Amino acid sequence: MTISEIHKLFTSCSSVVIDTRKITPKSFFVALKGERFDANTFAKEALDKGASYVLIDNKDYFIDGRTILVEDGLTALQQLAKYHREYLKIPIIALTGSNGKTTTKELINVVLSKKYNTKATIGNLNNHIGVPLTLLSFTSETEIGIVEMGANHQKEIEFLCAIALPDYGYITNFGKAHLEGFGGVEGVIKGKSEMYTYLKSNNKKVFVNLDDAIQSEKTSVMDRITFGQNFTDASTAITNVIANPLVELQFHGLTVKSNLIGLYNANNISAAITIGVYFEVTDKDIKDAIESYIPENNRSQLLNKNSNEIILDAYNANPSSMLVALQNFLQLDKKDKVIIIGDMFELGEESLAEHQSIVNFLKMNESVACYFIGNDFYSNKVEQTNFNFYKDFDSFVAFLQVSKFKNNAILIKGSRGMALERVLEYI
């Protein structure tokens, strides 16, 4: 069966799913194989639960005419997604970067949805499986698609662009994320810039933060729409940026008061504003959209608990995002600050050095109580009055059970694997 024929069957379905627990009537189920599972074995269950069709790559699980047999399920999913993207012919905005992808994607979505019927990546489904699923969630009703792309090695963004075929692109930043897979910071820049290569070679447009010197240089000969805090000639000039702790800024004479914490989020907001302006969303609608957005899922959340004001930024961390989060927290006009940070993962041979760099940075702020959690921070343990090191989360919890924070401003940040949002239970 050709991809065209498979697509015709797909368009008669209500949704695409890869998990039988999410089957709804008229679903299109794609059986994928992993290291520890083979979803081909769930083909009959999917049909029994109401799926219209199941796509499999093992003939032993063929049932009847509702079963589509292909050579490889994942490849077929990706080919089907690309075909569907070309079939719909809608403008697609793709974004990647080391930090801030998901927040920026959500901001772009709330802004553009003021004028258009938009559809965006759900959560962080941004890899070789998530991007195809995102594209297949777009329908004939979708007017603009927003696709987040994640990567931890070279050629991944190139591959995802070849599937999504974006008309517009935006890179949030180049940071110290996934250093192990990319092979260092230069590898990160090279890998993320694969989006620029695709856009340039296909005469597509790019949104660029002129305040980022590397990105400004890399896109200097591209068809670009720009923004910046220090460039009055940018397509959209951003002014009067403050964060204490919530970000406020101005564009076109309007003041936008967001619910996002940290100066690092100013760029994410600015990108969404610029994209909204380009797509002719009214300034008032852009302002209203940004101000209505409330962060969740442990991303830059501002919480209050037992007399403490807490910045919960525990969704993920790398050296770049950790540093800007610390810099922002330290400049806040708050008394009795407490920093609780956990190990940063996927840094390879640079891990101990990067953790040491964070410890060294905080040595200059002896008035702030710092709690370091995890093996790599513990390996960089130093004797300093305001420093406290714990090998693991349980050790820190043992401390919390006998000591309580009161009337503090607290920053909580660490890699996803540290799950530091658990700290809230003990504060």
**What pLDDT does 98 receive?**
84
User: Per-10-residue mean pLDDT for the chain, 427 residues long?
Assistant: 96 95 95 88 95 96 96 97 98 93 95 98 91 97 97 90 98 78 79 94 97 94 95 93 92 96 92 98 98 84 92 89 91 91 92 95 92 96 94 95 92 95 93
Same-domain check for residues 310 and 388: yes
Q: Which residues contact 217 (CB under 8 A, 6 or more apart)?
A: none
In the chain, the number of structural domains is 3
**What pLDDT does 366 receive?**
85
- Rounded Cα–Cα distance for residues 227 and 207 (Å): 8
* Identity at 89, one-letter amino acid code: K
31-40 — which CB contacts under 8 Å span 24+ positions? Answer: 31/55, 31/56, 31/57, 31/58, 31/61, 31/73, 32/73, 32/74, 32/77, 32/129, 33/57, 33/73, 33/74, 39/73, 40/73
Same-domain check for residues 218 and 274: yes
- Whether the pTM exceeds 0.85: the reply is yes
In a domain, 262, yes or no: yes
**What pLDDT does 177 receive?**
66
Which CATH number goes with the domain that contains 109?
3.40.1190.10
- Rounded Cα–Cα distance for residues 273 and 311 (Å): 24
- Rounded Cα–Cα distance for residues 345 and 311 (Å): 21
Same-domain check for residues 280 and 318: no
Which CATH number goes with the domain that contains 421?
3.90.190.20
Q: Which residues contact 353 (CB under 8 A, 6 or more apart)?
A: none
In a domain, 82, yes or no: no
* Enclosing domain of residue 233: 90-292
Same-domain check for residues 121 and 24: no
> 238, 262, 292: which is the final residue of a domain?
292
**What pLDDT does 244 receive?**
82
**What pLDDT does 300 receive?**
77
Q: Which of 23, 63, 26, 24 is nearest to 43 (CA)?
A: 63
Same-domain check for residues 224 and 172: yes
**What pLDDT does 295 receive?**
86
Name the DSSP class of 38. Answer: B
Same-domain check for residues 199 and 306: no
Annotate 266-301 with three-state secondary structure: HHHHHHHHHHHHHCCCCHHHHHHHHHHCCCCCCCCE
